Amino acid sequence: TPSTAFVSCDEIRVRFSRAMSEMYCKEVPQYGTLMELVAEINGRTLQDQPALLAQMQRAGELARLGAERHGAIRVGTAAELSMLRRLFAQMGMEPVGYYDLSVAGVPVHSTAFRPVTDAALQANPFRVFTSLLRLDLIADASLRQRAADILAQRHIFTERTLALIAQAEAAGGLTDAQADEFVREALETFRWHGESTVDASTYDALHKAHRLIADVVCFKGPHINHLTPRTLDIDTAQAAMLARGMGAKDVIEGPPQRACPILLRQTSFKALEETVRFAGDASPDGSHTARFGEIEQRGVALTRKGRALYDHLLAQVRDAGGAASDYGQRLAQAFKAFPDTHEQLRSQDLAFYRYALTDEGQAQAGDSGGDADLQTLLDRGWLRFEPVIYEDFLPVSAAGIFQSNLGGEAQEQFAAHAADATRQAFEADLGARVHDEIALYEAAQRHSIAQVRAVLRGQTP
C-alpha cells in the first residue's frame, strides 16, 4: 500500500540538499547572492556555447545543474564520523576518496559523501566534504585531553535522527512522512549556533593551537561551513564576485583555464566574522570565523595516468612559489604539456569518457560490430563520446580553500605519517572503506562500452 512504500534514497537526497540550501541562504545571505550570480552566468554561458549546451543535454547534466552543489563539515570524533556515514547512507551518499590534509598543515583527514551510480549522480549529485579533526596532531598533551573531553560530551544528532536511522536500517527505508521528518531532524546537526559550548579562555587556548581545532571543538555541532554551486565559467564568476565586492580569494585553485576543462577549479570568498556568546558570558561579544562561500567549475575525470601528469605539473608550479603574483601565468605555461582536446585526452588514455551510439551506429543494432575494437567503431562513425565529469575533490585545492578561510596564517607543518596508516585509521573511525574514485570513473566508462556492444550484438533488454 502507498502509505508504507519507501521513498527512494535519491528523493531523500534531493529534499535534504534543498533544505540545506534554504537554511544556509538564511544563515549566510551572501550564499544566495552567489547562487543568483552563478545561475545568471551559467545561463549566459550556455547561450554563448551551443556545443556545451548540447553536450550537457546529451549527458543528462543540464537538468541537475541548477540544483548541483557541495557542502563541507568538520567533525571531532570517530563516533560522529561513523554516524554521519549511516545518516548519509539513507540519502544514497557513500564515502568516496581519502584526503590527508595534514601534509598541507591542516590537522584533518577527509572523505566526500556522494552518490556513486550514474543514475543517482544524474538525479542529484549532492556531495558533502567531511573532515575528521586529528587530535593526535595537537602537541600539548593537556590541551589534547581537554579537547577530547569536550567532544566526548556533545551530542550532534537529535534523538529522533538516531531513531529514524536505526529504523530505516532495520526496515530498509523511510516512508514519505518519515523521510520529511528525517530531513527536518538531520538538518539540525548542520545548523549554526551562536553560542559556544566553552568559555572564552578555553576557546582562546584551542584557537591558539589551531583555528580549526576551535571551530570543531567549541560548538554544539558541525555547522555547514559552505555550500558551493557549480559554475560553467569560473573566470567570469570570479570577476563578477570581485566586481560586487564579495572578497574572493585571489587565486583560483586547480588547473588553469583550458579549452577542455579537467578535474575541478574552485574559488571562495572569505569567511564571515560571526558574533559568538561564550559559556558564562552575559552577552555575545566574542567572534569566530568559520563560514564562507565557494564556487567551482567541473571538468572531465582523469585516469591514473592523467592524474599523475596533473599532480606533476601542479607540483612543479607550486614548488616554484604557490602564492607569487605570476602564479597564474606559470600555471598556464606548465599546463601546455597537458593535451587540450578531448580526442587527445581520450586516445592518450588521460581522461574518462562515456561512449554511446551515433544514429549511424544505432542503425547497425543487432547486425554486427559488437566485437570490433573501439577505435574501429569510432573510425566507422558509429560512436560518440562525452566526458565523464569529475565528481570529487582535490587535496591541494582543498588545503588552499581551508587556508584562505583560516585567516591565511603561516601554515604549520605536521610530521609526516605513513599515508597508508592514516588512511586505515580513518577507515576504522568511519567504520567502512572509502570508494576508490578512479575505479568508479573507470567503471562508468567500461559500463558505457559494454552497453554499446550489447546493442550492436542485439542483446538489449
* Residue ranges binding Ni ion (CB under 5 A): 72, 228, 294
**42, 77, 397, 422: which one contacts ligand OOG (CB under 6 A)?**
397
Element (H, E) at 99: strand 94-100
- Tell me if 297 contacts ligand OOG by CB under 6 A: no
Report what 102 binds from Ni ion, ligand OOG, none; CB cut-off 5-8 Å by kind: none
Report what 423 binds from ligand OOG, Ni ion, none; CB cut-off 5-8 Å by kind: none
- Tell me if 74 contacts ligand OOG by CB under 6 A: yes
Rounded Cα distance between 347 and 18, Å, is 39
The site that binds ligand OOG (CB under 6 A) totals a number of residues, namely 12
In angstroms, what is the minimal distance from the CB of 225 to Ni ion? 9
Phi/psi at 172 (nearest 5 deg)?
A: 95, 10
- Tell me if 266 contacts ligand OOG by CB under 6 A: yes
**Cβ-based nearer residue to Ni ion, 105 or 400:** 400
- Tell me if 267 contacts ligand OOG by CB under 6 A: no
Closest CA to 86 of 11, 1, 2, 168: 168
Say which amino acid occupies 230: R
**157, 393, 414, 441: which one contacts ligand OOG (CB under 6 A)?**
393
Neighbours of 357 (CB within 10 A): 19
Q: Residue for cell digits 569529475? A: 390
**Cβ-based nearer residue to Ni ion, 70 or 423:** 70
Q: Residue for cell digits 553536450? A: 55
- Tell me if 402 contacts ligand OOG by CB under 6 A: yes
In angstroms, what is the minimal distance from the CB of 289 to ligand OOG? 12
- Tell me if 278 contacts ligand OOG by CB under 6 A: no
**21, 42, 131, 297: which one contacts ligand OOG (CB under 6 A)?**
131
Rounded Cα distance between 372 and 369, Å, is 5
Helix, strand, coil share (%) of the chain residues, nearest 5? 50, 15, 35
Closest CA to 58 of 437, 383, 344: 383
Rounded Cα distance between 286 and 280, Å, is 12
In angstroms, what is the minimal distance from the CB of 261 to Ni ion? 17
**398, 430, 434, 456: which one contacts ligand OOG (CB under 6 A)?**
398
Angle, CA 72 vertex, CA 273 and CA 168 arms, to 5° = 130
Please report, in angstroms and rounded to a whole number, the separation of the first and last CA atoms in the chain. 29
**Cβ-based nearer residue to ligand OOG, 284 or 322:** 322
- The DSSP 8-state label assigned to residue 358 in this structure reads -
**Cβ-based nearer residue to ligand OOG, 404 or 445:** 404
- List residues binding ligand OOG (CB under 6 A): 72, 74, 129, 131, 225, 266, 294, 393, 397-398, 401-402
